[in-house]
Chains A and B, each alone.
Chain A
Amino acid sequence: MDNMITLTIDGVSVEVPQGTNVLEAARKAGVHIPTLCYLKDINEIGACRMCVVDTGARALQAACVLPATNGMVVKTNTPAIRKYRKTLLELVLSAHDQKCLSCIRSTNCELQRLCRELGVENGDAFKGVQNEYAIDDVSPAIVRDNNKCIVCRRCVAVCQKVQKVGVIGPVMRGFKTAIESPWGLKLNDMACINCGQCITACPVGALHEKDDTAKVWAALQDPSKHVVVQPAPAVRAALGEEFGIPMGTSVTGKMVSAMKRLGFDKVFDTDFGADLTILEEANELVERVTNGGVLPMITSCSPGWIKFCETYYPDFIPNLSSCKSPHEMVGAMVKSYYADKAGIDAKDIVVVSVMPCTAKKFEAARPELGHNGLADVDIVITTRELARMIKEAGINFNLLPDGDFDSLMGESTGASVIFGATGGVMEAALRTAYETITGETLEKVDFEAVRGTAGIKEATIKAGDLDVSVAVCSSTGKAAEVLDAVRRGEKNYTFIEVMACPGGCVNGGGQPIVDADTRASVDVRAVRASALYGEDAGKPIRKSHENPEIKQIYADFLGKPGSHRSHELLHTTYQKREKYTD
């Protein structure tokens, strides 16, 4: 191939495509170049300088921003470079809050790991003054501790470039440079969508989820409370990583067992809620299509996306499906349908959602998401928080037997489990909508066109006489591209799925954190999604409307999709939001 070039890195000859940077070329040559700021394709700015290499040029060059050229000879491991890297790490440490033992990222910190790997012995070698920052913990979802920030700007890049939100950036200059919001506002007072992509990009403990585990422990401890837990589809695809289980392994059974051992009174499944969502959403879509409603209809499962739409694209609010997100639906059903059946006062029920998502914490606090003065969902914890609870409780996760969800809202279909991957909601909806529209049985349930990790996917599905034109986008940045095209009249869709996080919920801001090196060589989104598609394929029932518990809940309680009671309990409203609150 003529667009391939060959270079030599530490004596190893390697062939890479033109345009590859030296850091990636080195990875291919089996040479690990340390870095703190680099996040492949997202943050390539050469700021931390850990990756400097010797190319024989007058000065050392940062490998992450240096294009590989044909015949280039690179040295990454000279005594001088090793010395500089160590000094750089010592400098970074000198400006870093080194309370590592109690840090949420201890043992999963890229700075800590590099210090160990590069043999830094004295964290105080260049001890000096440190900047002191107040911790921003006002947001219901995200906590920022700039005392730990190493100013690598990964969070800034992901927020600006991937999500096109851009509520954080570097302020001040020199040693006082900090990642802040405009005018020193708190994250909560701005158009932060709470997606948490900044958290999973952060190499250290400067960004983390608001920890709500104490609330869960307290509820579990309270004998007057009936505590119901529900995990989202994507949680089972990633929770195992926290316990050393290979990425892409579905751990549904162990997760359920762990929840039971933690003392939850009932373990329901958000997947059930996903099936319920599909029934309501497919019905809404069919209604809109047949009755001339606002199109394209856009999914509403992703709370990061919802806040993004309310803030940046409020003209699309009428396009949003009025369906609550699956866990909110489950919450609403637990506090009505289940409370009735079990004879428990809804006020005594605590609904805990375990989500791959930080934005769900914000969502659960929306006043419109409740009934009779009770919130549908009381506490949201992330996958990471659940893992911490399991560890704290001394449960040996890896040895747990597989457990089963509790009945009434524990049954789910293959359609619901793929909600956790981009395109999953679309595929699940199409499986049901197809049969609703045509009245025929859908034989081939796999819609390959909407699968995969591409940021924008398009397809046209034939349902009888109807051509359903759909788009699937993941990341709010990609959603913005699609909506801009719709606004300009260049694109015309019937149905759009949006997930705020790239790759969908499997890559959500509440999921186990994967370091930049691994992210550069493994497509986390695809590997985790494969666990979900595997579950889907293995399920006896793969269409939401065939879920027996769903059939039961409509028969016993809701009537039919779109019924009055459905609207009362399962649908919601949205509001235009200002970018900054006063």
Chain B
Amino acid sequence: MEQTFAIQMKDITKRFGKVVANDHVSLDIKRGEILSLLGENGSGKTTLMNMLAGIYFPDEGQILVNGVPVTIASPKDAFDCGIGMVHQHFKLVDVFTAAENIILGLDSRQKLDLKAVAAKIEDICGRYGFVIDPYKKVYNMSVSEKQTVEIVKVLYRGADILILDEPTAVLTPQETDRLFAVMRNMKADGKAMVIITHKLHEVMDVSDRVAVLRKGQYIGDVATADTDPQKLTDMMVGHAVTLNIERPLVETRNLRLEVEDLTVLTPDGIKALDSVSFQAFGGEILGIAGISGSGQKELLEAIAGLQPTQPGSHVIYHPPAPDEPIAGQHVPVDRGGEELLGKTPRQIHDIGVSMAFVPEDRLGMGLVGTMGMADNMMLKTYRSGKGPLLDRKPPRQLAEKVKQELDVLTPSINTPVRRLSGGNVQKVLVGREIAQEPSVLMTAYAVRGLDINTSYTIYNLLTAEKLKGVAVIYAGEDLDVLLELCDRILVLCGGQVSGILDARTATKEEVGLLMTKFKKEGAQA
């Protein structure tokens, strides 16, 4: 029998605690083809592939490589099976050269002959059309060069099944084209390739076949030639789900925040935000949609004073009128509009602009892991009160209140929050920010990893804030929620505003297409 399947995954299930990341997924990967693994954030794409790469071990199911059942318990096992994965976060030693990184951990008995290594690298590069300087130090490399090193590292180890996890997320359109050209060369060489992505135009551009995951489940696969972005979007997002989130309309909406030409650079000098302009109003929830890493984090952080901005950027804050219920408890500012950029995070906070950002590691910013709920409640307010000593009474009361109202599961308000589960950590964070009685409330991924009931609690809290006249900015991942919770949706794509839609009339497809708008144009340019 002719063997065409490089990999067969059968009935794979992987759970993290109560969350089912992959639910009986079966997937085949063929030689000489590029397979796109498509799905929204959190649909389980990376988890599935990590089981091939030896990072995770499946709870159930079987993996066959070239028709033979195998056990992949470590990255080394994966290499032995000829599987190589290029992760989103590069695993390279900064002070080493490309060649040194590539041979790391290989045949320690052999002589270290970097010339021979370089020759072999050149050979691989020549075969597939890479360009790489084996003697260049990683810390001197651009992101795209680092990615190339990762791919060559995998090839050098003899991998003939390559998995690329969102390889284009960090690349310019030109670099993306070059990568795709290399991938086509590798395909012609008979290698099997998987590209994990959620960008439709890339799927159409490079792959032969598309497999779609949604919320941990395998939806199906189609030949790329037989499909189009519209059909793929339907598969990826599914039919619009009615969530029945209450969405009252506030009649008087006053201008609260004016963002003009906001530009932010990453440490590498790439534009994370490119001339972003929009307005946010009191009494509305402004949703921010976009694939992950489109500049959401930078946008919110820049407004909160945590990101250095480029000259020409403006964030103008208009305080609530004196007769509004939320007025009066913050540091007074120019009624004609106060520039926020150039102020410290503390000043901005004192004015009434609050941010509840739930980072991916949850505790990295916003909460102190070693402290209990009570002490975390006063992270931004501990200075209040006279004298050098802390007044622990208000934060303790607030902690009890948040614990009760949001149903936080913790043995006591003094239990270090890093011991709490993710969802509970988030409740603490969001609860605290709302308690600040802000006039602008920004949240990012506030319901990430939360169960349905808790998510609704948070939606209701945000809506209540809106009714008070607060300008709520909500960056989220789930389009269904954005469409039902928000009044307007701003779509970010590659650091630019690709559109602002009325959430009451917009469709899921409209938002989805705006999310990938610019990359497509860039790639064609």
Report whether chain A binds chain B. Answer: no
